[in-house]
């Protein structure tokens, strides 16, 4: 899941999508700022910076979750690559977090985007 870009110096530079510990999704500063069929969006403070955290809750069954993880990581990689190519400051992806509940009935996947 690494993305390579070619900066102006023509040297190859590697950029990685960061995996953020899932415990950080339950941060005490988390405030819901939106909700829809896609999931919930929260404003959250992490490492002295504010982020928008989009959490998608998935019902867990092994084949479905594996398919969704592949889809989520593929989308995140594409989003990160696009932002790097465009040298854009709009919605740069800071990282991804995920957790599986103890009964394995659901999975939460979080996208972290600086505000």
Give the separation between CA 32 and CA 44, rounded to whole angstroms: 9
Domain ranges for the chain: 27-114
Query: What is the overall mean pLDDT for the chain?
Result: 69
How many Å apart are CA 33 and CA 38, to the nearest integer? 14
In this structure, whether the domain defined by 27-114 belongs to CATH 3.30.200.20 is answered with yes
Binding residues: 54
pLDDT in tens, 5-16: 444 444 444 456
Query: With bands split at pLDDT 50, 70 and 90, how would you rate the model's confidence at 96?
Result: confident
pLDDT above 70 for 89: no
Query: Exposed (0-12), middle (13-18) or buried (19+): which is 42, by Cβ within 10 Å?
Result: buried
| Span 22-52, pLDDT tens digits | 777 777 788 888 886 667 888 888 888 888 8
Sequence ranges of the binding site for ATP: 54
Write down the number of H helices and E strands in the chain.
Answer: 1, 8
Given a contact cutoff of 8 angstroms between Cβ atoms, the answer to whether 1 and 14 are in contact is no
What is the value of pTM for the model shown? 0.54
pLDDT of residue 49: 83
């Amino acid at each position: 899941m690494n993305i390579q870009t070619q900066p102006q110096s023509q040297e190859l530079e590697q950029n990685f999508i960061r995996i953020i510990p899932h415990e950080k999704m339950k941060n005490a500063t988390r405030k819901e700022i939106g909700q829809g069929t896609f999931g919930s969006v929260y404003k959250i403070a992490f490492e002295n910076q504010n982020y928008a955290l989009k959490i998608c809750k998935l019902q867990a069954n092994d084949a479905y979750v594996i398919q969704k993880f592949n889809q989520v990581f593929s989308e995140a990689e594409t989003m990160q690559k696009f932002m790097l190519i465009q040298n854009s400051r709009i919605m740069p992806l800071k990282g991804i977090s995920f957790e599986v509940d103890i009964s394995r009935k659901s999975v939460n996947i979080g996208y972290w985007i600086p505000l």
